Each structure stands twice: as structure tokens, then as C-alpha cells.
Amino acid sequence: MQQPRWTRWIVSALLCASSAGCAGLAASAPVVPVTEWPTVDPLVDLATDRRLILRPAYASDQNFVGEVLYPVPRVLMRQSAFDALCRVQDRLDALDLRLVVWDAYRPHHVQRRMWELVPDPDFVANPARGSRHNRGMAVDVTLARLDGTELTMPTAYDAFTPRARANTPIQEDDVRANRDLLIATMASQGFTVLRTEWWHFDAAGWQDAAVLDVALEEFGR
């Protein structure tokens, strides 16, 4: 039976809070977000590589809060992480596959909005510490065929269940192969998968990147 959206999200938040995941905490002291655009390892628009398929979940209401959190469907990452992601796509080109990106840089004020919606530390991380996505070094991705059809993975993007764990046994050979291909190809370019979320990856050096609070809609102005 399909679980109610709220119930599914509570499970999600618990996993993220315990694993420092998508909405979770970075393992560090409380941070003061940087409110100026970084000049070292700057944010860049993933749309500049037209091979990447951008489907930002938070730019619509089709996400765990059912609310539009990003005012523009813009997907940004730090230059170093973007370069690594393009090298992943280089490898996928040989397999006639493309990366689909659901989320990357998330402004810190969006993290605060998540906290406003569910201000319970048992279920959502306190934005005082920021999340990995706030640093511009994290990305949520899956694989698709050249026509954009997403490959079958163990779960949907927001279906946080034990089956979403990156190393959980998967009986279906094709599904397991799809997941493991994504993880291996991302790892080949320095990305580390989050153990509780097969779709979440952190670029090498993410711990050293500052938490940012610059608005997606201000990019390029």
C-alpha cells in the first residue's frame, strides 16, 4: 500500500538527519553562510553542458514538502564539482547514457525554509550547521537513455526506504546493475555516494567548501 506523502517524508528526514544526507547536517561546528558569490571555485550553471538532463525537483511542487522551493529551475555547482560531473558524462557517452540531475547547490535560505516547514530536530536538520548541498559540492543524480527515459533504480528520488541504501541487496539484476553503474562511474571521478541514498553524491573536497547563501535567481546578474 502506498504510504502517505507525509509518512514517507518523516522516514526520509530521519534518515537524512542521522546520515548527514540531503537535508542533513555537515559534520562540523555551526556555520555562518557566505552571502557573496565565491570567486574561488565559483558556482557554474550545469546547463552549459547540454548533455546533462536537468530536472530540478525543488523548482516544482513535486518534492517532499509539496511546495516550490526554488524560484527558477536553475542548477548550479562549484566549478570543480561540475568538471568532475562532466567527466562522468564523458564516460557515460560511450554507453549511450546521460546523467539526470535532480538537485545540486541549494541556497542556505532554502534550508531554513525546510526548517520552517518542519521545525523538529528529530525529523529535519537544523540549518545552523548547513547541509552538504549548501556547499555546492553535492549532487542528486540518476541515469537515463539518450531519449531521456530514466533507467529503473531501486527507488524513486524521494522514496526513502531501506531499499534506498546504496549497498542494499537488490534482487533484480538489471536494477542492481543500473545502480551500481551509477555509483561506480561517479566514484571514478571522485564522487562519494551517501550510504543511505543511492542518488546522493559528494564531490571530492566537499568538506572544505563554505556553506553559501546566494540566491539562484541572482545568478549571472
Which residues in this chain contact Zn ion in the complex, by CB under 5 A? 22, 140, 200
Residues 6+ apart with CB under 8 A from 117: 65, 67
- Of 21, 47, 53, the closest CA to residue 134 belongs to 21
Based on CB atoms, which residue is closest to Zn ion, 10 or 16? Answer: 16
Based on CB atoms, which residue is closest to Zn ion, 140 or 158? Answer: 140
Based on CB atoms, which residue is closest to Zn ion, 41 or 202? Answer: 202
> How is residue 155 written as a grid cell?
527507488
- Of 33, 8, 14, the closest CA to residue 112 belongs to 33
Residues 179, 142 contacting (CB under 8 angstroms): no
Based on CB atoms, which residue is closest to Zn ion, 40 or 102? Answer: 102
State how beta strands 53-54 and 43-45 pair.
unpaired
> Counting every residue, how long is the chain?
221
Question: To the nearest whole angstrom, how small is the minimum distance from the Cβ of residue 103 to Zn ion?
Answer: 6
Cα 197 from Cα 22, distance rounded (Å) = 9
Based on CB atoms, which residue is closest to Zn ion, 2 or 114? Answer: 114
Question: To the nearest whole angstrom, how small is the minimum distance from the Cβ of residue 9 to Zn ion?
Answer: 14
Residues 6+ apart with CB under 8 A from 169: none
Question: To the nearest whole angstrom, how small is the minimum distance from the Cβ of residue 138 to Zn ion?
Answer: 5
- Structural element, H or E, at residue 177: helix 173-187
Based on CB atoms, which residue is closest to Zn ion, 162 or 173? Answer: 162
Question: To the nearest whole angstrom, how small is the minimum distance from the Cβ of residue 1 to Zn ion?
Answer: 27
Question: To the nearest whole angstrom, how small is the minimum distance from the Cβ of residue 132 to Zn ion?
Answer: 7
Cα 12 from Cα 22, distance rounded (Å) = 9
Q: Number of H helices and number of E strands within the chain?
A: 4, 7
Question: To the nearest whole angstrom, how small is the minimum distance from the Cβ of residue 96 to Zn ion?
Answer: 26
